[in-house]
Structure 1
Amino acid sequence: MDPKKLIMAGLPMIAVTYGFARFSYGLVLPYLRESLDINPSVAGIISSLSYLAYCIAIILAMLYMKKVGSRMLILIAGITAAMGMSIISIAGGAITLGIGIWIAGLSTGLSSPPYAEVIKEWVDQDQRSQANTWINAGTSLGTALTGVMVIFLADNWRLTYLLFTLLAIIIWIVNYKIIPKTKDTNKIRQTQAFHVTKRELVAAYPLILSSLVLGISSAAYWTFSRDLLFQIETIPEALIQLFWIIIGLAGVLGGFAGYFSSRIGLLPSYRISVLLLGASSLLLGLFTNVLSVVISAIAFGSSYIFMTGVLIIWGINSFKTNSSFGLGLPFLLLALGQVFGSLIGGVVSEGIGYENMFIVFAMTGFIALIFKPEKGV
């Protein structure tokens, strides 16, 4: 199968499940807080529901993908994204909002592992890393589109989520037509394909720990960065509106993770992404001027997508017998870290303020530099 055709289906679906259904929450949070009277702690709890739903969904995806098929899971992911966002659009309070965020969050966990399996099955070996990382870059496309829509719709977040729902349905149809059914329907072989060795798990502990740490450190940025900008009087309204678009457009650079890791090596790629990710939060915490905000947004957008692309390659190379598990494990742990990061970020920000919170989370992210892929991975 032509990998470009698969990318054309996968990239926009990831844009829907990650950019629209999951990370758009941080963009519209200032409007949600004003409209539904939500304080930072409650906002952090609601955000953590999305990450928790992701954790549960990605486990279910890895457990049942061999039974229901990767194509079916992708289609279910599109349905949950549309359902969750439609509920968000009619939310009248924190509880309804939380339910919508929870259901929408399921779509992210259901969408990532299946694409890795589809790529393994239908794409040539030498093109798989780039196909995986480009589909993963759909997050940045969804983030940028979210920012554009909010600019035009101003604070009408209900209409925004209704439009997201419509786009989710359209992209679901595209995937229904493009994603092929699995080649192998032998249930015995499918069950064996889920197996990973104890040696692989033991050797993957640096990947496990780094994914958790990076999840914790990145959660605050996705949830509270734009809310911080609204509270800084010296930041122009135009920049606040463009902030999410800058993050998204910069994230397109993350699609080159597969290319760069094959050229300069996985370890240098990993270290560069971790340094830039931590620096993006540090800039928001230390400086509150236009230049620092722009640089921070570029650094975060490019490094987050680049970092997740590196984790995909690291995971798949670590678990060669099961590519979906290799992709799912770091993403599961990244999301688990984001559950704690969102909860902690909301509480910490109320105690020491947003700026100091971002400094703390930046320092946390730098801890991930002590972990590294083994040689040959």
Structure 2
Amino acid sequence: MNANKLIAAGLPMIAVTYGLSRFSYGLLLPHISESVHMDQSTSGLISSLSYIAYCISIAAVMAFSAKFSPRSILLAAGLLSVVGLGIISVSPDPFILGLGIFVAGLSTGLASPPYADIVSTNIEEKRQNQTNSWINSGTSIGTVLTGCIAIVMAERWRESYWIFIGMAIVTLFVNYKVLPKQQAPNKKEIHAPSKEEWMRSIRLMIASLLLGLSCTPYWTFSRDYMLTLDSVPAYLGEWFWVIIGLAGLLGGTAGVFINKFGLLKAYWLSVAALSTSSLILGMNPGSIIIGFLSPVLFGSSYIFVTGAIIVWGISLFKTNPSFGIAVPFLLLALGQATGSIFAGQIADSAGYNTLFIGAAVMGFVALVFWPKIKENSNG
């Protein structure tokens, strides 16, 4: 299968399931909260439902990937995204909103792992890292689209979700037409991970958990925080999400960077940048320069570090590439689910500054758990 053709199908699917179905909630939160009457604690709790759903669905992929084809799983992801976005668009209260967020969150957990299997069995090895990285960068495309639509649509967040539904339907159709119905013949077989692979993934799992805890406050509350600051221009808060998404496109180069400089340098650079984005937002939020620099650092480093995690995971779970994404992303989601629950409470009790500085510290701790693998394995 042609790598560019797979990217053309996979990148929009990740854009829909991550950027639209999952992270759009944080962008549209100010208007949603006003419409359905939520405080910060309730907002954080509802946000956690997306991550909990993600954990459930990605665990299901790990358990049943041998029984269903990657194509079937991805089409299910697209369908759940359409349904979840539809529920969100008509939600009259926090309960129905939470249900929609949960259903949409299920789509996210189903989306990433199957692409790893398709890439592993259909794309030549020298292009696999880059193909996985560009598919993963779909989150940034979805974030940019969400941000632009939100700015144009202003307070009409329900209509924004109708547009998201249309995008999700088109993406579902494209994947239905493009994805291979059967895995390519004469390629490496996929087996259950060995005990040795599980043991070697402990550092990866700890790092993923810490990074999930670290990045959640930013995804959920950063734009809301910027909009409350009188010392920065209103346009900066309005365009905050777009800046994150555009910067995230740099993360699509993770595969090229890793192939050239190694996974270890990619991991250290991206984690340090990700943590710094939260630190400077918490320490000096009133600066216009920080208002631009922080989302640029976060957007580019988040996509970059998740790309590094994908390469790291696949290099550990060589016999089952989907587990190479599913395992670290499951731990990432567990961290995000836990972080969402406590982030709202911390914001209520101690303020946003404390929340973002604490998130940064958590991210810097993740630097201790760097990848220990042979660089000649291409990550």
TM category (shorter chain) comes to: over 0.9
2:11 matched to 1:14?
Answer: no
Residue type of the alignment partner of 1:232: L
Q: Is the Cα–Cα contact under 8 Å of residues 54 and 108 in structure 2 kept in the other structure? A: yes
Q: Secondary structure at the match of 1:193?
A: coil
2:346 pairs with 1:348: yes
The question of 1:246 aligning with 2:243 is answered yes
TM-score relative to the length of structure 1: 0.97
The answer on whether the counterparts of 1:53 and 1:105 sit within 8 Å (CA) in structure 2 is yes
CA drift of 1:184 comes to 6.7
Question: Given the alignment of the two structures, is residue 180 of structure 1 paired with residue 180 of structure 2, yes or no?
Answer: yes
Partner amino acid, structure 1, of 2:368: I
Match for 2:328 among 324, 327, 330?
330
Contact 2:118 2:183 in 1 (8 A): no
Task: State the AA in 2 paired with 1:357.
Answer: L
CA contact (8 A) 2:227 2:238 kept: no
On the 8 A contact 2:121/2:184 being kept in 1, the answer is no
Q: CA deviation at 1:193?
A: 2.8
1:308 aligns with 2:306: yes
SS in structure 1 at match of 2:370 = coil
Distance 2:26 2:93 in 1: 17
Please give the residue correspondences for 1:60-99 in structure 2 after superposition, counting only pairs within 5 Å: 60-99=60-99
Alpha-carbon distance between aligned partners in 2 of 1:162 and 1:58, rounded to the nearest angstrom: 26
Contact kept, 8 Å, 1:273 with 1:306, in 2: the verdict is yes
Note if 1:285 corresponds to 2:268.
Answer: no
2:146 match: 146
**Structure 1 SS opposite 2:92:** coil
Q: Contact 1:43/1:346 (CA < 8 Å) preserved in 2?
A: yes
The answer for the alignment partner of 2:205 in structure 1 is: 208
**In structure 1, what is the equivalent of residue 224 of structure 2?**
227
Q: Is the 8 A contact 1:286 1:355 kept in 2?
A: yes
Distance 1:244 1:270 in 2: 24
- AA aligned to 2:8 is M
Aligned pairs (5 A) from 1:47-62 = 47-62=47-62
**Contact residue 252 and residue 302 of structure 1 kept, 8 A:** yes
**Structure 2 residue ranges without an equivalent (≥5):** none
Question: Over aligned residues, Cα RMSD in angstroms?
Answer: 1.5
Q: Deviations over 1:258-298 (max 9, x none)?
A: 11011111011100011000000011101122110110000
The CA deviation at 1:20 is: 0.1
2:337 matched to which residue of 1?
339
SS in 2 for 1:321: coil
Q: List per-residue Cα deviations over 1:316-355 (Å, max 9, x = no partner).
A: 0011000000111111110110001111111111111011
Between the aligned residues of both structures, percent identity stands at 48
**Stretches of 4+ aligned residues off by more than 3 angstroms:** none
- AA matched with 2:128: R
Q: CA deviation at 1:66?
A: 2.0
TM-score by length of 2: 0.97
What runs of 5+ residues in structure 1 fail to find an aligned partner? none
- Work out whether residues 283 and 293 of structure 1, in 8 Å CA contact, stay in contact via their aligned partners in 2: no
Q: State the alpha-carbon separation in 1 of the partners of residues 57 and 317 from structure 2.
A: 20
Q: Which moved more, 1:230-239 or 1:323-332?
A: 230-239
What does residue 315 of structure 2 align with?
317
Structure 2 Cα separation of the partners of residues 342 and 305 of structure 1: 19
2-structure distance, mates of 1:316, 1:164: 31
How far the C-alpha of 1:203 sits from its partner, in A, is: 1.2
